[in-house]
Amino acid sequence: MVFEGIKKAFAKLREHKDDEARQLLLEAGVALEVVEQIQLEAKDRELSDVIYERLKLLESPDLEAMINQGRSWPYVMVFFGVNGVGKTTAVAKVCKLLVLKGFKPTLVPADTYRAGAIEQLTAHATKLGVPFVQSRYGADPASIAYEAKKTNMGKENSVVLIDTAGRVEMDKNLMDQMKKIVRVAQPNLKVLVVDALTGNAVIRQVEGYDQAVGVDAFIVTKVDADNKGGVFLSLSKYKRPVLFVSNGQDYDSLQPFRAKEWIGAYLQ
């Protein structure tokens, strides 16, 4: 994987052609504030150090270890994200991975809004052979999430994976619903799923969700379809880890984010 636009931008930065570099970085989907920070930091430091340091902030933690540190069961993870980013697919992929690690996940369709959302998640549950919580359209997602937690209370190795509703617009109603889910389910980990192709708008998504519910980690989807790469530099602004990158449509396409592997795509 090589991100030509960013590579070109960094070459311009090294030649002190700041305006051209800035334009190329913006076109590659790097948020303006981050472009400015990188330009500033690269004035008196080696560019590769500046970039590596940023990518290091995104390194994936060991999810298995995090869950085991949770100490009480179930470990509850809730997934947020704008419509279409690949949230439901990501929940199913994390579920498969947890099964392989010996955990006992339950899928929770707490998107009771979008037609087909419940069936989409329950079909994954059936394929993966894991339990799911019964849900119905129009029901209160927070009470479904609460039920799932209660049912698994004290069950060793249980992990509750809550899929939530996303809309194109992050309206107040939706955010109030998300806040209620968090209040009631008290998740151990709040994951925001973002699409690598989002471009600069990722900033608005992160800040919208972060203000409403607090974001602990990201999953970045569709990296297989992204030839720009700007999303990771934009996300480095938040100093929070990328739990996984999603690199395709099949269940096994989740990968950890490793700065060492990615720096080459920007600089080599």
Nearer to ligand GDP, 152 or 198 (CB): 198
- What tokens does 33 get? 């504030």
**Cα–Cα dist 32/141, whole Å:** 36
Regarding 87 and contact with ligand GDP (CB under 6 A), the answer is yes
Residue nearest to ligand GDP (CB): 86
- From 10-18, 76-84, 148-156, 236-244, give the range in contact with ligand GDP by CB under 6 A: 76-84
Q: Which of 83, 143, 157, 255 binds ligand GDP (CB under 6 A)?
A: 83
Regarding 227 and contact with ligand GDP (CB under 6 A), the answer is no
DSSP conformational letter for 201: G
Nearer to ligand GDP, 126 or 249 (CB): 249
Taken in order 170, 175, 178, 182, is the CA torsion positive or negative?
Answer: positive
DSSP conformational letter for 159: E
Taken in order 65, 82, 215, 5, is the CA torsion positive or negative?
Answer: positive
Work out the number of other CB atoms within 10 angstroms of the CB of residue 114: 14
Q: Which of 2, 32, 153, 225 binds ligand GDP (CB under 6 A)?
A: 225
**Cα–Cα dist 194/186, whole Å:** 22
DSSP conformational letter for 133: -
Q: Are strands 217-221 and 242-246 parallel, antiparallel or unpaired?
A: parallel
**Cα–Cα dist 200/107, whole Å:** 31
Q: Which of 42, 50, 77, 89 binds ligand GDP (CB under 6 A)?
A: 89
Nearer to ligand GDP, 29 or 86 (CB): 86
| Contact mark string toward ligand GDP, 110..129, x via CB under 6 A | --------------------
Q: Residue with structure tokens 């849900």? A: 135
Nearer to ligand GDP, 192 or 203 (CB): 192
User: What number of chain residues touch ligand GDP (CB under 6 A)?
Assistant: 18
DSSP characters for 39-88? Answer: HHHTTSS-HHHHHHHHHHTTPPP-HHHHHHHT-SSSEEEEEE--TTSSHH
CB of 248 to ligand GDP, least distance (A): 5
- How many angstroms separate the first and last alpha carbons of the chain? 10
Nearer to ligand GDP, 109 or 187 (CB): 109
Nearer to ligand GDP, 54 or 222 (CB): 222
Regarding 205 and contact with ligand GDP (CB under 6 A), the answer is no
Nearer to ligand GDP, 42 or 109 (CB): 109
**Cα–Cα dist 134/112, whole Å:** 11
Q: Which of 109, 141, 166, 230 binds ligand GDP (CB under 6 A)?
A: 166
Regarding 246 and contact with ligand GDP (CB under 6 A), the answer is yes
Binding site for ligand GDP (CB under 6 A): 81, 83-89, 166, 221-222, 224-225, 246-249, 253
